[in-house]
Amino acid sequence: MKIPRLIVLLVIAAITVLRGSMVYAQKAVPAYLNSSLPIPQRVDDIISKLSLQQKIKLLMNKGTAIDSNGLKIPAYNWWNECLHGVARAGKATVFPQAIGLAATFDTALMSKVANAISDEARAKHEYFANSNQRGMYTGLNFWTPNINIFRDPRWGRGMETYGEDPLLTSSMANVFIRGLQGNNPTYFKTIATIKHFVAHSGPEEGRSGFNVNVSDNDMWETYTPAFKSAVKNASVYSLMCAYNAFKGEPCCSNDYLMNDLLRKQWGFKGFIVTDCGAVSNIYRKGAHEKVATAEEASARAIKAGVDLECGSAFNALDKAVAKNLITEPELDNSLRRLFTARFMLGSFDDPKKVSFTQIPFSVVESKEHIQLSLEAAQKSIVLLKNEKKVLPLKQNIKTLAVIGPNADDEEVLLANYNGLPSEIITPLKGLKKQLPNTNILYAQGSPHATGLPVPKLIAARYLFTTKEMTAQGLTGNYFSNNTFSGAHVLSRVDSVIDFLWINGAPAPSIDPFNFSVRWQGFLKVPVTGEYYLDMYGSSNFELLVEDTALFRYSNTDGADHKYKKISLNAEKLYAVKINYSNTGANAIVKLNWEMPNINYEAEAVAIAQTADVIVLCMGLSPRIEGEQMDVTLEGFNKGDRTKLALPTVQQNLIKKIMALGKPVVLVLVNGSAVAINWETENIPAIVETWYGGQQAGTAIADVLTGKFNPSARLPVTFYTSEKELPAFEDYNMKERTYRYYTGKSLYEFGYGLSYTNFTYSNLKIKPTSKIGNDVVVTVDVKNSGKYDGDEVVQLYVNNLQKTEYTALRCLKGFTKINLKKGEKKTVSFTLQPKDFSFINEESKRVVSAGNFTISVGGKQPTTFTKGNVLIKNIVLTGKASFLEL
Catalytic positions, written as ranges: 275, 625
Pairing between β-strand 838-839 and β-strand 824-831 as defined by DSSP bridges: unpaired
Rounded CA separation 187/173 (Å)? 20
Residues in Cβ contact with 245 at an 8 Å cutoff, skipping those fewer than 6 apart: 209, 210, 211, 212, 251, 254, 288
* Per-residue burial over 201-223, b = 16 or more CB atoms within 10 Å of its CB, e = otherwise: bbbbeebbbbebebbebbbbbbb
Q: What is the 3-state secondary structure (H, E, C) of 268-328?
A: CCCEEEECCCHHHHHHCCCCCCCCCCHHHHHHHHHHHCCCEECCCHHHHHHHHHHCCCCCH
First to last CA, the chain: 79
Phi, psi of 250 (to 5 degrees): -50, 140
Asked whether 194 and 173 are in contact (CB, 8 A), the reply is yes
- 277-to-308, 324, 440, 793 alpha-carbon distances in Å: 12, 24, 49, 43
Closest CA to 559 of 402, 410, 393, 374: 410
Q: Render the burial of 5-35: b for 16+ CB within 10 Å, e for the rest.
A: eeeeeeeeeeeeeeeeeeeeeeeeeeebbeb
Alpha-carbon gap, residue 239 to 196, rounded angstroms = 8
Tell how strand 768-770 and strand 869-877 pair up. Answer: parallel
Closest alpha carbon to 778 in 762, 796, 754: 762
In the DSSP assignment, the letter for residue 649 is H
Question: In angstroms, what CA-CA distances link 253 with 36, 52, 146, 288?
Answer: 37, 22, 20, 11
Q: Which residues contact 247 (CB under 8 A, 6 or more apart)?
A: 211, 212, 213
Alpha carbons 75 and 135: distance in angstroms, whole number: 8
